[in-house]
Amino acid sequence: MRTPLPIPPLKTGASAHQKSYPAKTKDMIKVDLPKERAKDWKEVMLKKMAEVLDRNRSVRLYLESCVKCGACADKCQFFLGTGDPKNMPVARADLLRKVYNRYFTLGGKIWGKVNEAADLDEAMLQDWYTYFYQCSECRRCSVACPFGIDTAEITMAAREIMAAAGIATKYVTEVVAKVYDTGNNLGIWPAAWKDSCEFLEQDLKDTENIDIRFPVDEVGAEILLVPPSADNFVNIDTMIGYAKMFHAAGISWTTSTYCNEGGNFGMFLDYGNLKKVNNRILEAARQLKVKKVYWGE
Ligand code: SF4
Ligand code: SF4
């Protein structure tokens, strides 16, 4: 892009109606979260917020160090696309910051609104759900911030706090649930994964007259390849590229039907699922007794 996008005129509430579909009960159970919004959701969220602030000192630092300079304001594609001021990174972070000020700072507890504090009430929860799910966690805004404030990390904190009270979206819970069911985001079952690998082997024989293997679940291979699962489904030229490279280098390798997804959508849900999805890679490496893991997304 040669010239910056023009800053749009402010349109208050322009994307307030764009709410993500709520998670389905079956997926909430699968990702080990409360299956519906907790009756005492406010207490649960504040408890989780205290835990997140203790665990991630960076979040507390980001909440306390913003000087409202506005350098990030026009860096978010969601603001540029909608003109909704709550999609400015600084305003998005303020949704969490106001609640932090209200319940976790002395000034906010005593002076409330004067200290830029706000209650965690239904209206605030609706704003959190809307605007923290209109952030793609791309971190573009953090590059512009003179203090290095990472709004993506603030978004992750807010989503984790909501998830603890049973509030999450259909998309992200469904995708993580698929990883636990099938090993990947796309829901490719082991038999289909193997079938696709066999198809690619045959395809290379037919089209290029070369004999290259696409090994699956081979114990003792040197390398475990954990690609984006789409590489064995739609972007098959990339999968063919991996196989040719390992073949040319004479390296033994394998994919795993337990874990064949390089992307970690747990990052878009909560820390617990982020860790659990990551651990599947380690578990697959142990199962197959490989020496190295090649992993990318
Ligand atoms: S991290 Fe979120 S707020 Fe920042 S630019 Fe990306 S989408 Fe916008
Ligand atoms: S650029 Fe940084 S300090 Fe300035 S408003 Fe944005 S988050 Fe705050």
226 lines ligand 2 (CB under 6 A): no
Q: Inform me whether the pLDDT recorded for 296 exceeds 90.
A: no
Distances 138 to 82, 197, 296 between C-alpha atoms, Å = 17, 32, 17
Q: What residues contact 247, with CB distance under 8 A and at least 6 apart?
A: 212, 213
Task: Please check whether residues 160 and 196 belong to one and the same domain.
Answer: no
Look up residue 149 and give its amino acid: I
| Cβ–Cβ < 8 Å for 293, 226 | yes
66 lines ligand 2 (CB under 6 A): yes
Task: Please check whether residues 184 and 290 belong to one and the same domain.
Answer: yes
Which mutation among 66, 96, 97, 150 tests ligand 2's pocket best, with the greatest number of atoms within 8 A of CB?
A: 66
Task: Please check whether residues 84 and 110 belong to one and the same domain.
Answer: yes
CA nearest ligand 2 atom 4, residue: 69
Among the candidates 110, 139, 168, a domain finishes at 168
Q: Output the CA 144–ligand 1 centroid distance in Å.
A: 11
CA nearest ligand 2 atom 3, residue: 66
> What atom of ligand 1 comes closest to residue 92's alpha carbon?
3
Q: What residues contact 157, with CB distance under 8 A and at least 6 apart?
A: 49, 52, 56, 59, 96
Task: Please check whether residues 115 and 182 belong to one and the same domain.
Answer: no
Task: Please check whether residues 44 and 158 belong to one and the same domain.
Answer: yes
Q: Nearest ligand to the C-alpha of residue 79?
A: 1
Q: Please check whether residue 126 lies inside any domain of the structure.
A: yes
Q: What residues contact 40, with CB distance under 8 A and at least 6 apart?
A: none
Task: Please check whether residues 184 and 124 belong to one and the same domain.
Answer: no
Q: Please check whether residue 212 lies inside any domain of the structure.
A: yes
Task: Please check whether residues 110 and 233 belong to one and the same domain.
Answer: no
Q: Please check whether residue 13 lies inside any domain of the structure.
A: no
Q: Output the CA 97–ligand 2 centroid distance in Å.
A: 13
Q: Please provide the DSSP assignment of 141-199 as one string.
A: HHHH-TT---HHHHHHHHHHHHHHTT--BHHHHHHHHHHHHHSSTT---HHHHHHHHHH
143 lines ligand 2 (CB under 6 A): no
Instruction: Quote the DSSP letter at residue 291.
Output: S
**Three-state SS annotation for 18-36:** CCCCECCHHHHHHCCCCCC
Q: What is the CATH number of the domain that holds 44?
A: 1.10.1060
Sign of the alpha-carbon dihedral angle for 235, 296, 164, 119: negative
What's the pLDDT tens digit per position in 225-258? 999 999 999 999 999 999 999 999 999 999 999 9
Name the token pair of 168: 């999450």
Q: Please check whether residue 5 lies inside any domain of the structure.
A: no
Q: Inform me whether the pLDDT recorded for 77 exceeds 80.
A: yes
Look up residue 208 and give its amino acid: E
> What atom of ligand 1 comes closest to residue 79's alpha carbon?
8
Q: Please check whether residue 202 lies inside any domain of the structure.
A: yes
Mean pLDDT over all residues of the chain? 95
* CA-only gyration radius of the chain, Å: 23
Closest by Cα among 31, 22, 17, 18 to 170:
22
Q: Output the CA 140–ligand 2 centroid distance in Å.
A: 12
233 — phi, psi (to 5°)?
-135, -50
Q: Please check whether residue 91 lies inside any domain of the structure.
A: yes
Q: Give the pLDDT score at 6.
A: 85
Q: Please provide the DSSP assignment of 183-246 as one string.
A: SSTT---HHHHHHHHHHHHHHHHHHH-------BS-TT-SEEEE--GGGGTT-HHHHHHHHHHH
Task: Please check whether residues 133 and 220 belong to one and the same domain.
Answer: no
Task: Please check whether residues 62 and 181 belong to one and the same domain.
Answer: no
Task: Please check whether residues 164 and 275 belong to one and the same domain.
Answer: no
Q: Give the pLDDT score at 257.
A: 98
Among the candidates 131, 148, 168, a domain finishes at 168
Q: Please check whether residue 14 lies inside any domain of the structure.
A: no
What's the pLDDT tens digit per position in 106-115? 887 877 777 7
Among the candidates 168, 192, 225, a domain finishes at 168
Q: Please check whether residue 30 lies inside any domain of the structure.
A: yes
| Cβ–Cβ < 8 Å for 253, 225 | yes
Q: What is the mean pLDDT of residues 85-89?
A: 97
Number of domains in the chain: 2
CA nearest ligand 1 atom 7, residue: 135
Domain that holds residue 287: 175-295
What's the pLDDT tens digit per position in 196-231? 999 999 999 999 999 999 999 999 999 999 999 999
Q: Inform me whether the pLDDT recorded for 166 exceeds 90.
A: yes
Task: Please check whether residues 158 and 253 belong to one and the same domain.
Answer: no
For residues 126 and 5, the model is more confident at 126
Task: Please check whether residues 233 and 291 belong to one and the same domain.
Answer: yes
What's the pLDDT tens digit per position in 15-66? 999 999 999 999 999 999 999 999 999 999 999 999 999 999 999 999 999 9
Which mutation among 61, 64, 69, 151 tests ligand 2's pocket best, with the greatest number of atoms within 8 A of CB?
A: 69
